[in-house]
């Protein structure tokens, strides 16, 4: 564990075990020098406490990078709950988790993630103010979709062979959940041509009806000849062989860890396919979680989310001069912000 912490430069890890509710949870705090650590609470049936701790460390580091590049005054943290086989009382479990979060005195702010819901956040909010994504703060997926939309606009600007506006641009969207559906809505309003798929045929049918989208089977979306491929389902969809067979000019979607391996990013680069780094393009939900927790209005949040377009253009433009893939450059840009001498000086004087 200490080796994982030092390799990832994770600041601290907290463990909580509550036999009364069955709660076993981990909170990893990667960095708080830019502000309190913010990151979702994942509820997942981990095989071992080691797996849970490693996941919390990995995810917390990703949140630091995401917050740094989104320019929000927030550090990186993440909580994971080892989902019990048999939950006796979900409410009691999340109240106990809320007390765990509260015990850290605001160093970590929790939010929704895989396996947790707005209702769980409401439960947590009964025992601590250090929580966001409650029903009062609104749906983060709409802001994630808005960020992806602006990421796609950045792709159009960077690919000189694509039009400047979305009118007539062909976007293939994989996954029509909270983010994918809202993204299709925004793209359709701008006149984009949509090809879509989801494992749930009802979601595809809704996009066909509301946005005139062409529906394809899930396995066919990766071979659609299009301008932009937008993965908005699960992560890991682009391995090296998929990267070599995609027929698009750019990849720009919300899915976390959409590149299965760093080599897949290199393969896209060799194919001359621009790839918007996932933790840049899907930061809208995090920006929303942070700003709504700070009492900012929806209009202020939307304004900040639109800046994702400029943020993504930075690695795209650097790619033109350095020839390096944006996926590698974005990691370095985050490191530059987090570990720059200026930043470390601020940390010491904080």
Q: Does 40 bind ligand NAD (CB under 6 A)?
A: no
Interface with ligand NAD, residue 106, by CB under 6 A = no
Binding span for ligand NAD by CB under 6 A among 123-131, 150-158, 198-206, 323-331: 198-206
- Judged by CB, which is closer to ligand NAD: 92, or 186? 186
Other C-beta atoms within 10 Å of 162: how many?
18
Q: Does 230 bind ligand NAD (CB under 6 A)?
A: no
Among 87, 127, 186, 199, binds ligand NAD (CB under 6 A): 199
Instruction: Kindly provide the b/e burial profile for residues 257-291, where b requires at least 16 CB atoms within 10 angstroms of the residue's own CB.
Output: ebbbeeebbbbbbebebbbbbbbbbbbbbbbbbbb
Q: What are phi and psi of 324, to 5 degrees?
A: -90, 150
| Nearer of residues 23 and 183 to ligand NAD, judged by Cβ | 183
The least distance separating ligand NAD from the CB of residue 189, rounded to whole angstroms, comes to: 19
Contact pattern from residue 236 through residue 265 relative to ligand NAD, giving x for each residue in contact according to CB under 6 A and a dash for the rest: ------------------xxx---------
Specify the residue, 23 or 289, whose C-beta has the smaller distance to ligand NAD.
289
Residues 56, 236: Cα–Cα separation, whole Å: 18
Report the residue number, 40 or 325, with the smaller CB distance to ligand NAD.
40
Q: Which of the residues 78, 193, 209, 296 is marked catalytic?
A: 78
DSSP state, residue 213? P
Binding mask 146-185 for ligand NAD (x = CB under 6 A): ----------------------------xxxxxxx-----
Q: Residue 134, SS3? A: coil
- Distance CA(348)–CA(342), nearest Å, equals 10
Asked if 78 interacts with ligand NAD (CB under 6 A), we say no
For residues 217 and 180, is the Cβ–Cβ distance under 8 A?
Answer: no
Sign of CA dihedral 161, 166, 168, 171: positive
- Residue 104 or 109: the one with the smaller Cβ distance to ligand NAD is 109
Query: Minimum distance between the CB of residue 171 and ligand NAD, rounded to whole angstroms?
Result: 15
For the four alpha carbons of 208, 302, 331 and 321, in that order, the dihedral sign comes to positive
Q: Nearest approach, Cβ of 138 to ligand NAD (angstroms)?
A: 11
Measured in degrees and rounded to the nearest 5, phi and psi for residue 202 equal -65, -35
Q: Work out whether 76 is an interface residue with ligand NAD (CB under 6 A).
A: no
**Least distance from ligand NAD to the Cβ atom of residue 218, Å:** 4
93 is an interface residue for ligand NAD by CB under 6 A: no
* Residue list 262-301, contact with ligand NAD (CB under 6 A): 282, 285
Contact of 179 with 185, CB cutoff 8 Å: no
Q: What angle do CA 9, 43, 57 make, to 5 degrees?
A: 5
Rg of the chain (C-alpha set): 20
Indicate if 296 belongs to the active site: no
Of 71 and 177, nearer to ligand NAD (C-beta) is 177
Member of 234, 260, 313, 337 binding ligand NAD (CB under 6 A): 234
Our finding on whether 110 is near ligand NAD (CB under 6 A) is: no
CA proximity to 2, closest of 42, 53, 51: 53
C-alpha 66: how far from chain center: 8
Nearer CB in complex with ligand NAD: 104/124? 124
Helix (H, G, I), strand (E, B) or coil at 314: helix
Looking at 232, 268, 274, 305, which residue binds ligand NAD (CB under 6 A)? Answer: 232
Catalytic positions are 78
Q: Which residues in this chain contact ligand NAD in the complex, by CB under 6 A?
A: 140-141, 144, 174-180, 197-200, 203, 218, 232-235, 254-256, 282, 285
């Amino acid at each position: 564990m200490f080796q994982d912490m030092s390799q990832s430069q994770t600041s601290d890890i907290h463990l909580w075990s509550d036999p009364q509710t069955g709660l076993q949870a981990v909170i990893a705090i990667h960095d708080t020098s830019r502000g309190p650590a913010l990151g979702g609470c994942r509820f997942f049936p981990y095989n071992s406490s080691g797996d849970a701790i490693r996941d919390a460390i990995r995810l917390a580091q990703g949140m630091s990078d995401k917050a740094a590049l989104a320019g929000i005054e927030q550090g990186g943290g993440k909580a994971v709950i080892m989902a019990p086989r048999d939950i006796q009382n979900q409410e009691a479990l999340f109240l106990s988790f809320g007390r765990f979060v509260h015990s850290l005195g605001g160093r970590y702010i929790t939010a929704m993630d895989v396996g947790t819901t707005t209702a769980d956040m409401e439960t947590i909010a009964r025992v601590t103010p250090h929580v966001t994504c409650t029903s009062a703060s609104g749906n983060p997926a709409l802001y994630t979709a808005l960020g992806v939309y602006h990421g796609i606009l950045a792709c159009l600007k960077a690919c000189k062979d694509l039009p400047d506006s979305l009118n007539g641009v062909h976007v293939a969207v994989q996954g029509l959940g909270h983010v994918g559906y809202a993204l299709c809505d925004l793209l359709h309003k701008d006149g984009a041509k949509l090809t879509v798929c989801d494992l749930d045929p009802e979601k595809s049918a809704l996009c066909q009806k509301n946005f005139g989208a062409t529906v394809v089977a899930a396995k066919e979306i990766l071979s659609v000849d299009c301008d932009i491929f937008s993965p908005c389902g699960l992560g890991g969809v682009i391995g090296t062989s998929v990267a070599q067979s995609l027929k698009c000019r750019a990849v720009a979607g919300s899915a976390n860890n959409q590149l299965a391996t760093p080599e897949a990013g290199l393969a896209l680069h060799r194919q001359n396919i621009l790839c918007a780094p996932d933790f840049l393009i899907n930061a809208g939900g995090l920006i929303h979680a942070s700003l709504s927790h700070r009492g900012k209005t929806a209009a202020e949040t939307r304004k900040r989310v639109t800046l994702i377009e400029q943020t993504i253009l930075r690695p795209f433009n650097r790619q033109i001069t350095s020839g390096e893939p944006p996926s590698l450059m974005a990691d370095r840009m985050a490191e530059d912000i987090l570990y720059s001498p200026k930043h470390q000086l601020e940390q010491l004087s904080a």
